[in-house]
Structure 1
Amino acid sequence: MRKFTDKGVVVWLRFGHEMNWYVNPPRYYGTPAGFVTAWENVAKAVSDNPLVMMFWSPNNLGGSPASDLDEWYPGDDIVNLVGIDCYPQETNQTFEYCYKDYYDRFSASKQKPFAIGETGADAELKENWVKQLVSQSKVDYPNYVSISWIEYLKQGVDFRLLMGDEETLEQTKETLVPSH
């Protein structure tokens, strides 16, 4: 990280992403307390570098309430940026469905920047989902700063925007830069 921060690059350190999702072997299968301890250790290791932002980013487990994540939250003093990962499976799983409860609980109430750690949608939902992601009001979500789209063909589901088919690429361009 020093190679980046020494050049003035801000690093968002997304340690232990989706820690609440990978709770069964052979993946991470620790406890919330174990995760928080590990987070504290990593945060301490980078605490002397003001260009490293600790980015806490759990998984939206199918719309479960944000309060379910309280025990996984390391604390305001060692979290600089909050987010949540969500992959909508149906058209009724809107931006609000995926993010609002988490945004309100961990960003708005704590005055922390909010970034979508990971998202993506299959071919049927992709165009609508991209439109929702980029059309959110700064009035409703003033701390919303970033989106990370997973550009990946995973187990037969094509999440790709740029490296997928030409039609998807053109739809994405039109959404992001109208009349390109």
Structure 2
Amino acid sequence: MYLSGGVVVSLLSGACLGVTPSKPLLWRRTPCSNLNVLPMNTGMRGNNGIYWGWNPDIEKGDNISAINMMTGRKASTVGIFSQINSPNGFDGHQLLRHLDEVKGSGAALIASVMPNGLSFNEVTPKIAEDIAKVVRQFTDQGVEVWLRFAHEMNYYVRPGTYRGNSTQFIKAWRTIHNATKDIDGCLLFWCPNNAKLIDLMAEWWPGAEHVDIVGMDQYPSSLSATFKSTYGAFYDAYAKKYNKHMAIPETATKPDNATLKQAWVRALASADVRAEFPCLQSVTWFELHKSWDYRVVMGQDKSVRDRTLSNFR
């Protein structure tokens, strides 16, 4: 949900091409059905044990280091957005300029790569290999990468941000999978936008053998929203059915009412959801001031930050 001008025996096979992190989130973790594997990463977690991170407002200077300094905790995940602006190639500069900082933070990178300047049909093996080269620059440095290609595909095709249909998307996705499947530490992250009916997402599903993590972007507007009421149907249809890790890569609330935001943070970070939803692994908050002020840390007064941080350990 971001446009700019300018993170397990591994679920993927292949030899290690990089530096395996000493404390991974999902890297070299068994599938979610194995509940005997405890978290290895020491990054920020909710009081319920779920990993927590941020989509920082990088374009405005609020990088992950600034958020970590404000919270006094190391984020477990950091989300960064990058656009493919041409069918001629992808250099990944929007990601790579933050490589050293992401590495230093110890967070898993949720790399949201958006095909804005080409159609799904133009996602060739060459484009896929360009993406793989960028990913390797992170994994070679020990950074875990959750590659979120063409996220919210079921939404972005409507205004024409992405061009093509679901059949073409699946072909493009599998091309990306072929190029990245042997990169140890790169997990492919399928993430549609919220749909009122789960059936509306089904045509965009690339197949369980081509997906490592599932998630959905959602911005609730009710004080009574819970994980179950918001994500329960999606969880059952994809995480539970296919035994996949689930992560929430983008969420906040609409409107940006402080009470509403705090209620949603509490529902995700403090409510005991792991017993019923054991495949849920992480949440990454949309910490930006965009059309709404989604932030719960940066730019907020101390009382808001304190209420936010009371949900974490």
Which moved further from structure 2: 109-118 or 86-95? Answer: 86-95
What one-letter code is carried by the residue in structure 1 that aligns with 2:206?
Answer: P
1:66 and 1:26, CA in 2 relative to 1: closer, same or farther beyond 3 A? closer
Query: Which has the larger Rg?
Result: 2
Quote the Cα distance in structure 2 between the aligned partners of 1:131 and 1:37: 39
Deviations 1:48-72 (A, max 9, x none): 21211000011113xx122221110
Which one has more relative contact order, counting CA pairs under 8 Å at least 6 apart? 2
Residue 9 of structure 1 is matched in structure 2 by 143
User: Which blocks of at least 5 consecutive residues in structure 1 are unaligned?
Assistant: none
1:7-156 alignment, distance < 5 Å? 7-61=141-195, 64-121=196-253, 122-123=256-257, 124-134=259-269, 135-155=271-291
Alignment of 1:172 with 2:308, yes or no, is yes
Deviations 1:63-98 (A, max 9, x none): x12222111010111100001110002224432222
Tell me if structure 1 keeps the 8 A contact 2:138–2:144. yes
Indicate the percent of aligned positions where both proteins have the same amino acid: 38
Quote the Cα distance in structure 1 between the aligned partners of 2:261 and 2:159: 31
Tell me if structure 2 keeps the 8 A contact 1:88–1:94. no
Quote the Cα distance in structure 2 between the aligned partners of 1:18 and 1:114: 15
1:50 and 1:126, CA in 2 relative to 1: closer, same or farther beyond 3 A? same
User: Which blocks of at least 5 consecutive residues in structure 2 are unaligned?
Assistant: 1-134
Number of equivalenced pairs = 174
2:281 aligned counterpart, secondary structure: strand
Quote the Cα distance in structure 2 between the aligned partners of 1:35 and 1:165: 39
1:136 and 1:17, CA in 2 relative to 1: closer, same or farther beyond 3 A? farther
Tell me if structure 1 keeps the 8 A contact 2:166–2:204. yes
Residue 81 of structure 2 is matched in structure 1 by none
State the superposition RMSD in angstroms: 1.4
1:150 aligned counterpart, secondary structure: strand
Tell me if structure 1 keeps the 8 A contact 2:152–2:217. yes
- TM-score after normalising by structure 1: 0.90
1:42 Cα offset (Å): 0.8
1:14 aligned counterpart, secondary structure: strand
